[in-house]
Amino acid sequence: MVGLVVTLLVILTLTVCIIILLFRLTKKTPRERKNHDLDDFLCRFVKDGKGKKIGESIAIDGDILIVKSGKNYMGIPLSHIMKNGKYLRIKGLTNFNKAEELGKKWLKKHSKRKR
């Protein structure tokens, strides 16, 4: 009888340990969750507030979304971007001159050849 109780306690303890271990292995860290969420912003078409397609998102630099628009690049703060189905949409007023300036700065920083 005592042996049976001890065996059941050992099995119960091992089961709890396995469950805790599996939970920890599948749980993402806050950094992993954040990186995964940011991946949702990449390789998507970006539309302005009126619904006009302006380009495609290609990178994230800090809190700036980099959008390739034709031959130009624009940098738009992530706080001005919202998901809209399969597209990203710019919300609020955006200074496109400043966005192009941020895009040029990003391109210069990350370009492999000197410009």
Q: Where are the domains of the chain?
A: 2-30, 40-110
Q: What is the pLDDT of residue 47?
A: 95
Distance CA 93, CA 110 (A): 27
Coil/strand/helix, residue 12? helix
Q: What is the pLDDT of residue 113?
A: 62
For residue 95, give the H/E element and its range: none
The architecture (CATH level 2) of 40-110 comes to Roll (3.10)
pTM of the shown model: 0.67
Provide block-wise average pLDDT over 10 residues at a time, the chain (115 residues). 84 86 67 63 92 94 93 93 91 88 93 65
Q: What is the pLDDT of residue 4?
A: 83
